[in-house]
Structure 1
């Protein structure tokens, strides 16, 4: 019993440790790609396309079916044995086995199979595209959460500095070096810092919930994230057009649109095949059993089943002449669907090119912003330090100290934001170059 209790305790401790284990952005993206509701919906669409492909393959196989019939006649009827009219009650059973095979149908089945294959490929690309979209959204939400946590840390640091400075001001006021107004101003500054800290903690909670929602992660479970590396790659030497040329051959959204055009083209060909004649082959075997209910002396079931057996084979040629404009309307609708698929491909290509140009410009601009913000943080840090020293020496007011501290906090938060924005832009541009958003862990 004691050993069982220790095992349960160890297992519970292990679960707790795993639950509190920090989550990297790659792990969050992988988790979201496996659990997101939108990805699952795309997976269902892929499964449906695979079922349609199986159905298209089955259309090439012959149709085989059997039938059994029973009939009771009362009064005037035809005697199956003598083929003459009779007025007695009779029992009749019929049995048949038939098969049919379409030999030629204007290549409709062939084009429908090719369309089904294109739909399966389009479904795979759709799943990959949805996974990438979810991963990018998770990456952005992850960065928002890291930003909020960083802002909380910076605000908490400023709150502690204001608390220490308030204590110092109170001590200096007791010896007459500071006035009660300075003490009141420092208390107001501390209160403002505490409010800002509470506000940022609330924003952090909202950012965490938003990330969990995108990941389809339990909202009541702990999700600890780690700040991603801020070591940035050197500026790319590839032009946006070169990146677009690479992305247009590998991006799943472009591949999905191309496969949509291909599927629509095969669908149109299948509709045109209905204008051609169709040829089918059929054959079967049948037998029957007859019994006179008023008189005896009928042959046994086995002998009738054998003697009444008959076989047949047939070849049927169907030539379409007029079907109430159904075929022509279907062809016209599928032409429109093909035009829509081509237009969608052009839109996806134009949108991809726009996003790549924008991402490339964002990488360059965010790199400049990081450099400038680093310089501003250094300057504001020095200014805040000097203002605090002047305040201690009586050469600066408490308002000057507050202004310098707020300016430094804003600079530090903006620097963190610009660093995270640059990391996101670089990851986005690398994705369009063909790099994976995450590696399987």
Structure 2
């Protein structure tokens, strides 16, 4: 009964795995999918919308405002009624609707500085959004190429295991006809067992890296991901690249991280000018129109509203004298913020330069390794074919044969890793150079 139950579980699990959808994606498709789904990018997009709203509001600050007010009042007791111009002691009903507008004539250019600040804040958020996209793209490239390396390593391991198994079958046949020896058979079986363990570890690494890529793409719907291998027909990309000075100049000119830091510094400098403007007088102008009604006046409501109207125009000046040092405190804290913004800009230059140096050095090292690994693999492969023939004819021992095979496989793995490291570093450097 238990065996049937276990078989049933395995059977339906197999059906589920077979029914699982498979999605095959290229590198560019993975990049687009990750950018469109990434939650941090969506947050950056929302921050950009908010920055755009703040910028628009700063522009509207140059316009006059417009206000309207009205009310209906019932008063008891004695008071002087301004509408009727008499002292009233009865219940009085009154209304005084009014519309007015105010315009700031001068405030030490505080509105200009605010608009300048909001514009730079908008640019900073825009560059931060683009930098987030670049970071996501670079992460996808790293993860994608890790999966490709795993696939190549698994291919080499599978070919090695198939080759060892074929040699084992050959040696067993030799033993069966009395021309082989059991020691060689046991040696092949031991090597096959070792390679199977290595193959399992490589498969686990592949599944781990594939999961990391799926998580970057936010593929949480159970879809199985498969990646499309890269085309290496143009081998010049593996050995040619621009000089470091050219690369660094382009990276610095196109770095969204640096552009965002610079825009933040400019925004803080504009904020400092805006805060300093609070120390100076401000001048404004206001105009308005209103009418009124009171139950103490003769005439109906409509006639009073028609006859008791008024208009006004005026100017005002506000001079700050003492506000408990709040303006000076804001100036000092904004100065510190500005200094920190300058430090952040310098740090961004340093970070971009350091990362470019590391990526470029890794690229050049991988290119050098690739050329050497290619020559090494060709030589070791030729040596292996020679020793293989000698082993099959009984002219060399098993350990020399196995050492030659191991050397060939190691050289092939080094060649694969060097090739994909070149592609990884080059693609990432191209991203930061502005070649998306």
TM-score range, shorter chain: 0.7 to 0.9
Q: TM-score scaled to structure 2, two decimals?
A: 0.87
Instruction: Quote the Cα distance in structure 2 between the aligned partners of 1:141 and 1:113.
Output: 42
Q: Report the CA distance between 1:151 and its aligned residue.
A: 0.9
Q: Which of 101, 104, 107 is residue 103 of structure 2 equivalent to?
A: 101
Q: Tell me what 1:351 maps to.
A: 351
**1:174, CA displacement in angstroms?**
1.3
Q: Is the 1:37–1:216 Cα contact (8 Å) retained in structure 2?
A: no
Specify the alignment match of 1:235 in structure 2. 240
TM-score (norm: length of structure 1): 0.86
Aligned ranges for residues 206-245 of structure 1 at < 5 Å?
206-218=208-220, 220-230=222-232, 231-233=235-237, 234-236=239-241, 238=243, 240-245=244-249
C-alpha distance in structure 1 between counterparts of 2:358 and 2:138, whole Å: 16
* Residue pairs, 1:19-418, within 5 angstroms: 22-80=24-82, 82-218=84-220, 220-230=222-232, 231-233=235-237, 234-236=239-241, 238=243, 240-291=244-295, 299-418=299-418
Task: Work out the CA distance in 2 between the residues paired with 1:361 and 1:409.
Answer: 26
Shift of 1:219: 5.7
Q: Displacement of 1:279 after TM fit?
A: 0.3
Q: 8 Å contact 1:370–1:418 — kept in the other structure?
A: yes
CA distance in structure 2 between the aligned counterparts of 1:212 and 1:110, rounded to whole angstroms: 48
Q: CA deviation at 1:144?
A: 0.4
Moved more, 125-134 or 47-56: 125-134
Whole-Å separation in 2 of the counterparts to 1:373 and 1:218: 39
1:317 deviation in Å? 0.5
Offset, 1:54 = 0.7
What is the CA-CA distance between 1:74 and the residue it aligns to? 2.5
Q: Residue 46 of structure 2 aligns to a residue in which SS?
A: helix
CA distance in 1, matches of 2:236, 2:28: 17
- Superimposed CA distance per residue, residues 377-396 of structure 1 (whole angstroms, 9 cap, x where no aligned partner): 22332343344334433444
CA distance in 1, matches of 2:289, 2:38: 55
Unaligned runs of 5+ residues in structure 2 are: 1-20
Q: Distance in 2 between the 1:246 and 1:201 partners?
A: 40
| 258-267 vs 392-401, which moves further | 392-401
In 1, Cα distance between equivalents of 2:362 and 2:81: 92
Q: Any conservation in 2 of the 1:67–1:95 contact (CA below 8 Å)?
A: yes
| Distance in 2 of aligned mates of 1:219 and 1:415 | 36
**Whole-angstrom distance in 1 between the partners of 2:360 and 2:76:** 89
- Structure 1 gaps of 5+ residues are 1-18
RMSD, matched Cα: 2.3
Which secondary structure state, in structure 2, belongs to the residue aligned with residue 321 of structure 1? coil
Deviations 1:6-50, CA, capped at 9 Å, x for gaps: xxxxxxxxxxxxx86743323322332333222222211211110
Distance verdict in 2 for CA 1:182–1:348, change over 3 Å: same
Tell me by how many angstroms 1:56 deviates: 0.3
Q: Are the structure 2 counterparts of residues 60 and 41 from structure 1 closer, same or farther at C-alpha, using a change threshold of 3 Å?
A: same
Distance 1:187 1:246 in 2: 56
- Aligned partners of 2:23 and 2:224 also within 8 Å: no
User: CA deviation digits over 1:298-323, x for unaligned, max 9?
Assistant: 52110121222221222001111111
Question: In the TM superposition, what whole-angstrom CA distance separates every residue of 1:99-133 from its partner, at most 9, and x where no partner exists?
Answer: 11111111011011011111222222112211111
Deviation at residue 232 of structure 1 after TM alignment: 3.2
How many residue pairs end up in the alignment?
413
Query: How big is the shift at 1:333?
Result: 1.5
Q: Contact 1:232–1:423 (CA<8 Å) still a contact in 2? A: no
Give the CA deviation at 1:218: 4.3
Q: Is the 8 A contact 1:213 1:219 kept in 2?
A: no
Q: In the TM superposition, what whole-angstrom CA distance separates every residue of 1:264-304 from its partner, at most 9, and x where no partner exists?
A: 11111111111111001112122222236xxxx95211012
CA contact (8 A) 2:23 2:223 kept: no
